[in-house]
Amino acid sequence: MQRISAGMMVAYKWVLPASSLLLFTVIAPIWNSVASSLAPWMKWLLPVAAIVAFVAQVATTWSLADEVVDHGDHLRVRRRSIEETVAIADIEKVSAEYAIRPLRVVLSLRRPGAFGRRIIFVPRPNSAFGTYGESRVAADLSQRIGSRASGESVDG
């Protein structure tokens, strides 16, 4: 049994969006004094940007799994109060989204479960410096899915 998801999901889902709003409240008085000498619409630029940033952060992290634990022949996935067990044999495809930070692993399931047809999570980093290049978690899961499809045995 090994956790394969990042342990910082609280930071990604709650701390970062809240800190963006906190940053806005700190900068707002300064912005108001500067924007008063500019065009009237400029006064609304920072509040609108802060709200858009907050909504974007929440929208991109809300559907991420909070925890994914590898039990060898199945994964235990938890998001908020919902928990599901997914057999490795039920995973059709493993892909990684490298263009988005933090990197995300997407598990496409053969049939929908509690989280739908896709489970998305942030994998455990390859090293203390993060994941640069291919994620070991994604590569390991892809290999195990491929070996199941070809009929080879897989060690947990």
Alpha-carbon distance of 5 to 69, in angstroms, equals: 7
Separation of alpha carbons 109 and 116, rounded Å: 8
pLDDT in tens, 14-42: 888 888 888 888 888 888 787 777 777 77
Integer Cα distance of 84 and 71 in angstroms: 13
**Domain containing residue 67:** 1-156
**pTM to 2 decimal places:** 0.77
Number of structural domains in the chain: 1
| 3-class SS of residue 125 | coil
Model pLDDT, residue 149: 53
Length of the chain (residues): 156
Spell out the residues 6+ positions from residue 16 whose beta carbon is closer than 8 angstroms to its own.
Answer: 57, 61
Predicted pLDDT at 131: 52
Tokens 């500067």 belong to residue: 34
- Ramachandran bin of 130, using left for φ above 0, alpha for ψ from -120 to 50, beta for the remaining angles: left
DSSP type of residue 130: B
Report, as an integer, the average pLDDT of 96-110.
87
* Residue 142 predicted with pLDDT over 60: yes
Helix (H) or strand (E) holding 74: strand 74-79
